[in-house]
Amino acid sequence: MRISALEHPTLVLNKSWSVVNVVPVRHALTLVCRNVARIIAPETFETHDFSSWARQAFRLDRELTIRMVSGSIRIPEVIVLVGYDRAPQRHVPFTRRNLYRRDQYTCQYCGQKPGSENLSIDHIVPRSLGGRTTWTNCVLACIRCNIRKSNRTPEQARMDLLRIPRKPRWIPHVALPHGIVKRSWSQFISDRYWEVELED
């Protein structure tokens, strides 16, 4: 389904060029016209106010332009806020999907990749022994290894972990409407982690 140029997503950076949001082009242009933000030229990283952006001689793609009385302008793909320097404090939520991603769909005891339907979440220190459902106490285990480990610690079961489980570093994720991905965003953003948290 085609969306209008004004509804395309624009990446919003704070004053220190960290990702803070994604807004429609319509909203991005409003911020630029109010001098709250400037448009970043993705090829050069130069910043522009609305007037200087409109004067740029970019090669124009009809679907990614806005027609105006004086001609057409290219829609902004990335803007930077002039005065906003805060970045949202985020963490990687502990979810089944994110755990599968962190452990790369691999049993952390034998190294096999039997497919997600044959993997389960193993508590290194079992819950019956006070183990919690956290990034550092949970790993993926294939059914065979999970049965072998049973309700014991790896030391008790004489099983070695492939690597020490750690909480992943948060990398910004932005939900993209209609699956639109902009190549110009790649130096600012990654879409590795999202979802809702698992309950303990």
Residue pLDDT, tens place only, 97-107:
999 999 999 99
Q: How many CA atoms lie within 13 A of 54 on its CB side?
A: 13
User: Cα separation of 58 and 52, whole Å?
Assistant: 12
Mean of the pLDDT values across residues 116-143? 96
Q: Residue 115 CB: number of other CB atoms within 10 A?
A: 9
Q: What is the per-residue pLDDT for 57?
A: 65
User: Cα separation of 42 and 64, whole Å?
Assistant: 14
Sign of CA dihedral 66, 72, 77, 78: negative
The separation between CA 51 and the C-alpha centre of its own chain, rounded to angstroms, equals 32
For the domain made up of 96-157, the CATH class stated in words is mainly alpha
Q: What is the per-residue pLDDT for 181?
A: 60
With bands split at pLDDT 50, 70 and 90, how would you rate the model's confidence at 199?
very low
User: Cα separation of 78 and 96, whole Å?
Assistant: 32
Of residues 187 and 123, more confidently modeled? 123
Query: Per-residue pLDDT for 1 more than 90?
Result: no
User: Cα separation of 82 and 33, whole Å?
Assistant: 12
**Domain boundary assignment for the chain:** 5-88+171-185, 96-157
Element (H, E) at 155: helix 154-157
